[in-house]
Chains A and B, each alone.
Chain A
């Protein structure tokens, strides 16, 4: 009669419980979506990896053999090292700038009163959903040639004396990318700020902390996970960005995405383009997964 063996166990409180006769239901509810993804995501990706090992010639086209030619070319030709280096540099600087500007802005937004906060949140996050082409076109107009509004403005303010080159430079690409990526950073920090107990700041204040100390010792450590996860998103999206580098960077300032585009649709060397794309994917997956693991381990207690 003794229930000693079961008493120590925690009480089971089932919240989601399968109905006795409907236990097959999840299978046919999920199967269509799984098949869709296997058929139209996994198979094409596998084919692309395979493609990167195929041979290609100007006149013979694609030859379905398994060779390392494309990978050797990427590994040895300094052109690819320079291109991937540029991609990495642009992504890193963009990430840094969005974090430095986006985190304070999210904090300022969070301190605003309800109505203003809603309005500015809409203004800052809204661009996220506006076509990247339209937004980048705006930067092209601001930077562009003799009519470049940015230069006119900076010169009339006396910040610079002669026009700075923005179009077709890395600086221009970074500025436009920062604009494109900023909503992701603000959103990520904003989410972290929402989890913050406002009383904590008051508690620090009551203990004699000044505003700078509060931000440095109380707020920043708590929103750091948000900044870091925002940084991971911004980095991976910047490193694979296409429209902005293509329009602002022009034809010479190649990054990984624009190079893959060129190989596929201009040079028609698909195997080489596939190798570039696969390398980009593999690199990003490694960096993102690694960074995520690091952030989660470091901030496990903040994440709860």
Chain B
């Protein structure tokens, strides 16, 4: 569990790491301790500093401030070629003039591994990613998914202390991406290699990671397990970025036991709140009920395993997702009432933006 892995001696530590390009601050005060065997995702929109952070760990960029330690040793003065990290690049960066086997063998050659051992480890690595028999293929004659696997084998065969994945799946089509996610997770579990994944794809981060580092504008917004970050986003940004969310403007009414009121929906209010507040609720946590916030279905979209409703309410627009359980669903233009459990919402002071 997370608590256990945090208490073990960290394998990789980033302390107050910052990077500025001229006057532009790309990464600000980044602190993270990665436990051995952990799978961490850096998640955020493009330009949030996640790739910059990865490149500082890899050694292709020097931090402006702060220290990066691997197994307790300061990495800052270690040349990228001596860090022993396995990296899978977004473009795969395979050596086009070498065969798949030669690509995988390259790192072992650099480590002066004997020829016999090299051959055996290359064979095993290619077998692990399901590419036995492709040893003599050149990258140009392989599909995107196969190239991706060679890149993974090449990074893993050197038994890296940390595996760095820079948006490795973003060039694959949706179906292949899902397959590779499952495979990547399996291989990582099997080898127990500490892994850092950079991605802008929230589903990828949620399904693969032990912990997610959500980043925005160079700063860490939240660090936590996938469930934690999804269920209890610490900021509006995280709530918006991780999945969809509905923001309703509500009021605090009454004095004795005060209540939160959003149209026809109400619940007991926590102590100390007053004036307008914003309620955040995930679309799949809202149901249609007999009582609750009155609204009207503006659009109904069928999405296979679920239905998506766009509703208009007096507290703002709402998105509702209902599983396709075969039951009748409200049609477009129909009046509905929206309801949710108090524990499924989060509260912020002030009106919704």
Residues of A within 8 A of B (CB): 3, 6-7, 9-14, 17, 19-21
Contact = CB atoms under 8 A, between A and B. Distances in A.
Interface residues of B, number: 22
A21 B77 CA distance: 8
Interface of B: 21, 23-26, 28, 46-47, 51-52, 55, 59-62, 76-77, 79-80, 217-219
Contacts of B219: 3
A14 B28 contact: no
A13 B79 contact: no
Given A3-B219, A7-B217, A11-B46, A17 B24 contact: no
Given A3-B28, A21-B79, A12 B62 contact: no
Contacts of B60: 17, 19
Given A3-B28, A3-B218, A7-B217, A12 B21 contact: yes
B25 A13 contact: no
A196 B287 CA distance: 56
Contacts of A13: 47, 51
Interface SS of chain A: loop
B217 A3 contact: yes
A11 B47 contact: yes
A244 to B, nearest CB: 44
B21 A14 contact: yes
B217 A6 contact: yes
Contacts of B80: 19
Contact of A6 (B52, B55, B218): B218
Given A6-B218, A14-B21, A14-B52, 9 more contacts: A3-B218, A6-B217, A9-B23, A10-B47, A14-B61, A17-B60, A19-B59, A19-B60, A20-B62
Contacts of A11: 26, 46-47
Nearest to A20: B62
10 contacts: A6-B25, A10-B47, A11-B46, A12-B26, A14-B21, A14-B52, A17-B61, A19-B79, A20-B76, A21-B77
A20 to B, nearest CB: 4
A17 B76 CA distance: 16
